[in-house]
Amino acid sequence: MSSLLLCSTPVRGHVTPLLAVARALVGAGHDVRFLTGRTYREAVEQTGARWCALPAEADYDDSDMDAAFPARVGRTGAAG
């Protein structure tokens, strides 16, 4: 059995695929920890992995990106 750490920025498109990976690894008997935002705590714990919190300054709710990153409001395109 291995001890593994999965890490993801707290964004649905990044976390969701890793949930399946976590579930498979736990099912294979590995000790899995998953570092991501608090929004995804329950989903991580449902895989059997142990959720680890991101530091507060790195955590945000991806359902409201403008609130999480106010400097992006009103910008368009890659250059803003």
**pLDDT attached to residue 10:** 96
pLDDT surpasses 80 at 80: no
Domains plus CATH for the chain?
3-58 (3.40.50.80)
Non-local (6+) Cβ contacts of 1 within 8 A are 29, 30, 31
What whole-number distance in Å separates Cα of residue 50 and Cα of residue 80? Answer: 38
Give 24-47 pLDDT, tens digit per residue: 999 999 999 999 999 999 999 999
**pLDDT attached to residue 68:** 86
What whole-number distance in Å separates Cα of residue 41 and Cα of residue 5? Answer: 15
78 band by pLDDT with thresholds 50, 70 and 90: confident
> What is this structure's pTM?
0.85
What whole-number distance in Å separates Cα of residue 4 and Cα of residue 24? Answer: 12
